[in-house]
A and B are shown apart, each in its own frame.
Chain A
Amino acid sequence: MAYKRQFYPGNSVPAKNRRRYLDPKVKLKQLRDVSMDDVVRIMGHRNPGEDYKSIHPPIEEGKEPECPIRKLVVPIEGAKHGDRVRYIQFADSVYFAPISPYQRAWMYLSRYRGVDTGTLSGRQIIEVRERDLEVMAKEMIDNETFDPALTGIRGATVHGHSCRLDENGLMFDGWQRYVWDDEKKEVVYVKDQVAIPLDRKISVGKPSPLSDLRKRTTIFRADGVDMRDDKEVTMYGLRIHKLRTLGGYQPWKVKGE
């Protein structure tokens, strides 16, 4: 049966954005260009220019066991070279951040191969082989899912996604990894993702105005687009809830649903 992949129901702005972010055929807009060296510095796993540390010899050298699945799956670059698995973690503010952790998980799994991701209330970690991670991290910092003020790159102590913003409109960070540059009106990283001071400041650009963020967000909010105003999304949620409940308690009633 011919099957066309579907992503998310609904016609409201957040629903449409969710579809866009999830669909790997959609190329996301690039809003800024943070250099690869700076991305590596912010992540803090290695120094720019340093060799990748490996945990096993390149796959081509080693003797892989006879396995049909190994023959079937094309390894990603990092796996080919035997790189370590490293991570980047983003925290997304509830105040109309471009994306929220749960949609990040959907997006990562929909767009990338060879990743392991974990969702928490305010943050989303992604674990990949190092050299692939760097490419993905740069994409995610440069594209429209990132906002300098409302998205934080935080490896530990991520507290702040549900706090009030500060006077410059930045999401709260107890470790102050990024500060507001009042002259340039930009957000500047002064510490890496685990709050070890950086040698030099790294600018990630100007925050977007709220009017723009409201058009880009995937977050349903009572003071933005209420999820209940999007009938299809509400019905989809209710249907899943109903099927799960029936499946758990009266599975014979699922028939015909």
Chain B
Amino acid sequence: MSSPIKPTAEYAEKPLPEVQILTNRLLSADSTERVLNALDVIPNIRQINMTGESLPKTINNGPGKGHANNHTERKIIHVGNQEVELRYLVGGFYIEMDVESEEELDARLEEIKAACDATIEHGYTLQVGRYLKYKPTLHDYRSA
């Protein structure tokens, strides 16, 4: 029996490899911009997701609730010719690789490592695996 609900987006049919980069220190907005611009020129990158610690726009509780937070690292950065609004102090990158073979992946990994070594001052750990969902699972078919 086919499912009545179809996933909203047609996604990659196979689990493409992802490169997980976790930095030893949380990066400032300027450093994040440098890392992304260094990664931006590497071919075969399908998408980059970032994680980190949330920086709220306003003070969200306590006596100062409602005041603007004015965090210096919550700002718009420029990657390639795109604007990216940062809402986090970034501490991790998940880079999805659109590669056909192991050799191609290895070659791109070397480039990614070189880009990170040049831009991440306090070091990082790098792993290859699959970290984000790439196909619908039971959770996507639950009733609201």
Q: Which A residues contact B (CB, under 8 angstroms)?
A: 44, 155-157, 159-160, 163-167, 169, 172, 174-176, 179, 191, 194-197
Contacts known (A160-B53, A175-B71); A194 close to B122, Cβ less than 8 A: no
Q: How far is the CA of A160 from the CA of B73 in the complex (A)?
A: 16
Interface magnitude class on chain B: 20 to 34
Contacts known (A156-B62, A166-B25, A172-B26); A197 close to B67, Cβ less than 8 A: yes
State which of B54, B61, B67 has its C-beta within 8 Å of the C-beta of A196: B67
Min distance, Cβ A130 to any Cβ of chain B, angstroms: 16
State which of A44, A164, A165, A174 has its C-beta within 8 Å of the C-beta of B54: A174
Q: Is B60 an interface residue (CB 8 A)?
A: yes
Contacts known (A194-B64, A195-B62); A164 close to B72, Cβ less than 8 A: no
Does the CB pair B64–A195 fall under 8 Å? yes
Work out how many contacts link A and B, with CB atoms closer than 8 A. Answer: 68
State which of B25, B62, B72 has its C-beta within 8 Å of the C-beta of A167: B25
Does the CB pair B53–A176 fall under 8 Å? no
Tell me the nearest residue of chain A to B122, going by C-beta.
A167
State which of B27, B59, B89, B91 has its C-beta within 8 Å of the C-beta of A175: B59
Tell me the nearest residue of chain A to B27, going by C-beta.
A167
Min distance, Cβ B67 to any Cβ of chain A, angstroms: 6
Q: How far is the CA of A196 from the CA of B63 in the complex (A)?
A: 8
Min distance, Cβ B130 to any Cβ of chain A, angstroms: 24
Chain A residues whose C-beta falls within 8 Å of the C-beta of B38 in the assembled complex: none
Does the CB pair B54–A155 fall under 8 Å? no
Does the CB pair A174–B55 fall under 8 Å? yes
Tell me the nearest residue of chain B to A176, going by C-beta.
B71
Chain A residues whose C-beta falls within 8 Å of the C-beta of B122 in the assembled complex: 167
Q: How far is the CA of A191 from the CA of B67 in the complex (A)?
A: 11
**Can you name 24 A-B pairs with beta carbons within 8 Å?**
A156-B61, A157-B60, A160-B53, A163-B91, A164-B24, A164-B25, A167-B26, A172-B26, A172-B53, A172-B89, A174-B53, A174-B56, A174-B69, A174-B71, A175-B56, A176-B55, A176-B70, A176-B71, A179-B72, A194-B63, A195-B62, A195-B67, A197-B67, A197-B70
Does the CB pair A165–B53 fall under 8 Å? no
Q: How far is the CA of A197 from the CA of B26 in the complex (A)?
A: 24
B41-58 residues at the A interface, CB under 8 angstroms = 53-56
Q: How far is the CA of A170 from the CA of B36 in the complex (A)?
A: 23
Q: Is B121 an interface residue (CB 8 A)?
A: yes
State which of B24, B62, B89 has its C-beta within 8 Å of the C-beta of A157: B62
Min distance, Cβ A9 to any Cβ of chain B, angstroms: 34
